[in-house]
């Protein structure tokens, strides 16, 4: 489900989605790290995300939420987004190969050009 949400994140209301995702960061055992990474992707900068996360106050498991946010700051937010970035890269490659008929070499040229910006 997180992978699907990542694909349509530009169409979501970032405030509503953030509240639900940060609740998951606070009170779930599994996939809280994915919820955090996905929530970060809804914001243009780390600072904007952290401002939202700092203003979020869970109703339960406040200490757990604070510990997880502390860990996110220590490890860096990109750590929590790697899974989604890999998924997006795989999807782009599949689209390039299937829909556009690009070869592996042509896809690499496009990927290299986009990372140099």
34 and 16 together in one domain = yes
Distance of alpha carbon 115 from the chain centroid: 18
Q: What is the mean pLDDT of residues 95-115?
A: 74
pLDDT at 10 > cutoff 80: no
| Shared-domain flag, residues 12 and 57 | yes
For residues 63 and 89, state if they share a domain. Answer: no
Token readout for 24 is 């998951």
Q: Both 69 and 14 in a single domain?
A: yes
User: Which residue range forms the structural domain that includes residue 98?
Assistant: 85-115
Query: Looking at the structure, do residues 31 and 61 belong to the same domain, yes or no?
Result: yes
The pLDDT value recorded for residue 74 is: 92
Give the pLDDT score at 9: 67
Contacts of 76 (CB under 8 A, 6+ apart): none
Give the model's pLDDT for residue 114. Answer: 66
Same domain? 109 vs 66: no
User: Do 70 and 98 fall within a single domain?
Assistant: no
Neighbours of 74 (CB within 10 A): 8
**Rounded to whole angstroms, how far apart are CA atoms 76 and 56?**
19
Report pLDDT digits (tens) over 37-71: 888 888 889 999 999 999 999 988 989 999 999 99
- Cβ(58)–Cβ(65) below 8 Å: yes
Are residue 91 and residue 69 in the same domain, yes or no?
no
89 and 111 inside one domain: yes
Please give the tally of structural domains in the chain: 2
As a whole number, mean pLDDT of residues 4-20 equals: 74
pLDDT band at 117 (very low <50, low <70, confident <90, very high): low
Average pLDDT over residues 2-29: 78
Task: Sort 102 into a burial class: Cβ within 10 Å, 0-12 / 13-18 / 19+.
Answer: middle
Judge if 12 and 37 occupy the same domain: yes
């Amino acid at each position: 489900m997180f992978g699907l949400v990542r694909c349509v994140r530009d169409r979501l209301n970032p405030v509503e989605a953030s509240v639900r995702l940060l609740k998951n960061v606070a009170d779930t055992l599994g996939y809280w790290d994915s919820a955090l990474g996905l929530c970060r992707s809804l914001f243009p900068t780390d600072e904007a995300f952290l401002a939202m996360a700092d203003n979020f106050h869970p109703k339960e498991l406040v200490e757990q939420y604070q510990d997880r946010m502390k860990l996110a700051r220590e490890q860096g937010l990109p750590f929590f987004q790697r899974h989604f970035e890999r998924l997006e890269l795989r999807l782009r490659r599949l689209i390039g190969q299937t829909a556009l008929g690009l070869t592996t070499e042509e896809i690499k040229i496009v990927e290299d050009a986009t990372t140099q910006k």
